[in-house]
Amino acid sequence: MTLVGGRVVSLPEEVVLPSLRSPNILDRPRLVAALRDVLHPIAGREERLSVALPDGAGRVLLLDVEMPFKSKSEGLQVLRWQLRNTLPIDPEELCLDYQIIEHKEDGGLRLAVAVMTRTVLHQYEEVLEEAGYHGVVIDFHSLQLYNYYRARLDLGADTVFVSVEDGALGMQCFEDHRLIFHRSREIGHDLDMVYRELTRSLVAARELCPGLRRAQLFLHTDWPEQEALREALRLLLEREATLLEPNLQRLTVGDIDIPNWRTRGLAAAVGAAERLM
What residues make up the domain containing 96?
55-116
Q: What angle, 0 to 180 degrees and rounded to 10, lies between the N-to-C axes of helices 28-43 and 118-131?
A: 50
Q: Which residue has the higher pLDDT, 62 or 259?
A: 62
pLDDT digits (tens, 9 = 90+) for 155-165: 989 999 999 99
Q: How many domains does the chain have?
A: 2
- Is 257 a residue whose pLDDT tops 80? no
**266 and 153 in one domain?**
yes
Give strand pairing partners of 171. 162, 183
Q: Tell me, what's the pLDDT at 261?
A: 67
Q: What number is the average pLDDT over the span 94-109?
A: 92
Tell me if 6 is assigned to some domain. no
Upper half-sphere CA count for residue 165 (Cβ side, 13 Å): 28
* CATH number where 154 lies: 3.30.420.260
**244 and 175 in one domain?**
yes
- Is 98 a residue whose pLDDT tops 90? yes
Tell me if 191 is assigned to some domain. yes
Confidence band of 53 (pLDDT split at 50, 70, 90): very high
**267 and 161 in one domain?**
yes
Report the alpha-carbon distance of residue 24 to residue 19 in Å, rounded: 6
Tell me if 17 is assigned to some domain. no
Confidence band of 13 (pLDDT split at 50, 70, 90): confident
**266 and 146 in one domain?**
yes
Q: What number is the average pLDDT over the span 99-115?
A: 92
**145 and 99 in one domain?**
no
Lowest mean pLDDT among 29-33, 86-90, 169-173: 86-90
Of 70, 87, 116, which one is at a domain's C-terminal end?
116
Helices (H), 61-117: 72-82
Q: Tell me, what's the pLDDT at 174?
A: 95
Residue 187 three-state SS: coil
**181 and 249 in one domain?**
yes
Tell me if 20 is assigned to some domain. no
* CATH number where 84 lies: 3.30.1490
Tell me if 100 is assigned to some domain. yes
User: How many other CB atoms are there within 10 angstroms of residue 142's CB atom?
Assistant: 25
Tell me if 183 is assigned to some domain. yes
